[in-house]
């Protein structure tokens, strides 16, 4: 299956999940963590509450990531979300990662420095897309779609708890 077809199929799989928007948001957090782990990123934390949602490490950098999922064409960012991903040292990068659930499935990953100008504003996802880290977003999208397709038969079991445990275990941490 080519990458474009995979993204449409992944959106269909998540669309058929039949969980509340709130539950889907939690699953998106852990789904991104599992996706990052499969990409070779070490996962240090996946928080059910608080900021950031995911803390990870790759190539000597610490990533602080706030995750959102939406089926809407626009998005609103809150101050506490941006503050939670603000780099705390020169070795850290902060990201807002928005899972656009509309077909084709897409992760939009925006660095803190760009995301902070959006606080308190409702903006079209197309604007977020224009601000994204193109390479990181594409890697997350492709790997997430592959993960969903590979496990589509058991996707109902991919709860926040299970995905979180898998991501942390792959990152070398047992919760």
> Each residue of 60-94: pLDDT tens digit?
999 999 999 999 999 999 999 999 999 999 999 99
**Secondary structure of 47-116 as H, E, C letters:** CCCCCCCEEEEECCEEEEEEEEEECCCEEEECHHHHHHCCCCCCCEEEEEEEEECCCCCEEEEEEHHHHH
Whether residue 159 is predicted with pLDDT greater than 50 in this model: the reply is yes
At 4, the pLDDT band (50, 70, 90 cuts) reads confident
Q: What's this model's pTM, rounded to 2 decimal places?
A: 0.93
Please name each of the domains of the chain with its CATH number.
Answer: 3-170 (3.40.1350.10)
Longest CA–CA span in the chain (Å) reads 42
For residue 122, what is the enclosing H or E element?
strand 122-124
CA distance 128 to 131: 5
Q: Which residue has the tokens 């898998």?
A: 166
């Amino acid at each position: 299956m080519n990458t474009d077809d995979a993204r449409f199929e992944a959106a269909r799989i998540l669309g058929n999940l039949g969980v509340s928007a709130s539950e889907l948001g939690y699953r998106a957090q852990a789904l991104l963590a599992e996706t990052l782990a499969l990409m070779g990123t070490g996962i240090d934390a996946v928080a059910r509450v608080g900021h950031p949602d995911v803390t990870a490490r790759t190539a000597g950098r610490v990533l602080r990531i706030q995750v959102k999922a939406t089926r809407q064409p626009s998005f609103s960012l809150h101050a506490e979300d941006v503050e939670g991903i603000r780099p705390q040292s020169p070795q850290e990068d902060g990201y807002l990662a928005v899972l656009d659930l509309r077909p084709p499935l897409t992760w939009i990953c925006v660095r803190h420095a760009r995301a902070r100008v959006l606080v308190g504003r409702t903006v079209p996802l197309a604007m977020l897309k224009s601000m994204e880290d193109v390479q990181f977003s594409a890697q997350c999208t492709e790997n997430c779609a592959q993960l969903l397709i590979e496990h589509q038969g058991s996707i109902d079991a991919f709860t926040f708890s299970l995905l979180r445990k898998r991501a942390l275990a792959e990152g070398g941490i047992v919760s």
